Amino acid sequence: MKSIWKFFTSTRLAVVLSLLITIDVLTGTLLLSSSPKALGMIDLEIFFYWLFGMGLNNLAASWWIFLLLALLLLFALNTIVCTIDSIAFILRSHRETARTRAKARRILSQAIHLGFIIGLLGHLISSTFGYRTVDNRIFEGSSIPVPQSNELSLRLNKLDVEFSKNDGMLRMDADLSLLQDNKILKDKVVRLNEPLLYRGNAVYITHHGEAPESMGFKLSDNGVQEIIKIKLHERSATSKKGYTLKLEQLIPDFARDSEGKAYSASKQFRNPALEVKVYKGEQFLVSGWFLLKSPSETSLAFNGLKLVFSGLAYRPYAILTINKDPGTLIVLSGALIFIISLIGLLFIKGEGMELVRKPT
């Protein structure tokens, strides 16, 4: 037991492990760039889920990560044992008349070790717990549930995007509300570099866009014209003249068979077409197909009634990344302790390296 302890207190071990980690990560740096298929998904999941899933299935590209973990484990043990040993020494010798500078140097060195261990512990928590979700689409005015939370939901109140011809995107602001049982817990305008943070949950805006929400049709009946908006499979509101429209179906690649029956030639949106049914009250009047790629060429006429496709109505949406990482604060705290102690060490005089020349 004593010899194992002594082995792990070795500074030589720390140097050798550091250099082995360097070589391992150097190989990993090259593999990360050359194996995007195998390693490209690594940041989209909690690390250990990825490692024991995709990582194990792609050992040719991920072996260095397993080796890194083994080396890091040894390095962490080395640091912990060294720190315990040194703290015991500091406590034993605190009454001795060691120079203040030497004492401060010892304490700061151990604080650096402690910061590293705390950071590593935080990273272990980050790699095991929490969740990561990407591509959460939320439409303006609507809500989506927060993943892995039964009670929380997010509402996009307003999306504000500003472009400039010369400078590209100037602003991408999503006014979000975090809700619990329809009560607002937090309001925040989420921007790039400014996420919504709430009890470990973090919401980021990554992209934005517009999706067709409904279709518009120009309906004219004996000189009276109006625009009617409808959603797929839904019935429109009643027009002034008492008509309602229903979008019956959408076909991605419109074609007709030998009997003139409509069907889709493929699943690709090569020639999308909409079937629209017209009602007056509850009475079905007529139905027809509208080709979306050539809307001006298709129309529907029936007893003085004319229906023309006037275009799509779009609704803005934001794409959100929603994460929960319980280890982040611990990692950052460890790193802060590490750096503050390191800065302290910089200002202690005599922290030089005395010359050692081998005899010739």
| Residue 162 or 248 with smaller CB distance to other proteins | 162
Distance CA 58, CA 64 (A): 11
Contact present, 300 and 271 (Cβ < 8 Å): no
Our CB check for other proteins shows the closer of 128 and 206 to be 206
Considering only 60, 258, 357, 359, the residue that binds other proteins (CB under 8 A) is 357
Beta strands in the chain (DSSP E): 131-139, 143-145, 152-164, 168-180, 183-190, 196-198, 201-221, 224-230, 243-251, 254-256, 262-264, 273-280, 283-291, 299-302, 305-324
| 8, 77 contact by CB (below 8 A) | yes
Sign of CA dihedral 33, 34, 36, 41: negative
| Residue 70 contacts other proteins per CB under 8 A | no
Tokens of 47: 């690390």
Q: Which stretch binds other proteins (CB under 8 A): 1-9, 245-253, 255-263, 323-331?
A: 323-331
Shortest distance, position 113 Cβ to other proteins, whole Å: 11
Q: Between 205 and 292, whose beta carbon lies closer to other proteins?
A: 205
Can residue 22 be called a binding residue for other proteins (CB under 8 A)?
yes
Starting at the edge strand that comes first in sequence, how are the strands of the sheet with 168-180 ordered? Answer: 143-145, 152-164, 168-180, 183-190
Name the residue nearer to other proteins (CB basis): 108 or 156. Answer: 108
One character per residue 155-174, x = contact with other proteins (rule: CB under 8 A): -----------xxxxxxx--
Query: Among residues 1, 2, 11, 257, which is the contact residue for other proteins, using CB under 8 A?
Result: 11
Determine which residue in the list 88, 98, 262, 339 makes contact with other proteins, applying CB under 8 A: 339
State the binding string over 27-46 for other proteins (x if CB under 8 A, else -).
-xxx-xx--x--x--xx---
Distance between CA atoms of 157 and 176, rounded to whole angstroms? 6
6's enclosing H/E stretch is: helix 2-8
**Interface positions, 186-225, toward other proteins (CB under 8 A):** 192-195, 202, 204, 206
Name 15's Cβ contacts closer than 8 Å, sequence gap at least 6.
none
**Residue numbers at the binding site for other proteins (CB under 8 A):** 11-12, 14-19, 21-22, 25-26, 28-30, 32-33, 36, 39, 42-43, 123, 126, 132, 166-172, 192-195, 202, 204, 206, 321, 323, 325, 328, 331-332, 335-336, 338-339, 342-343, 345-346, 351-358, 360
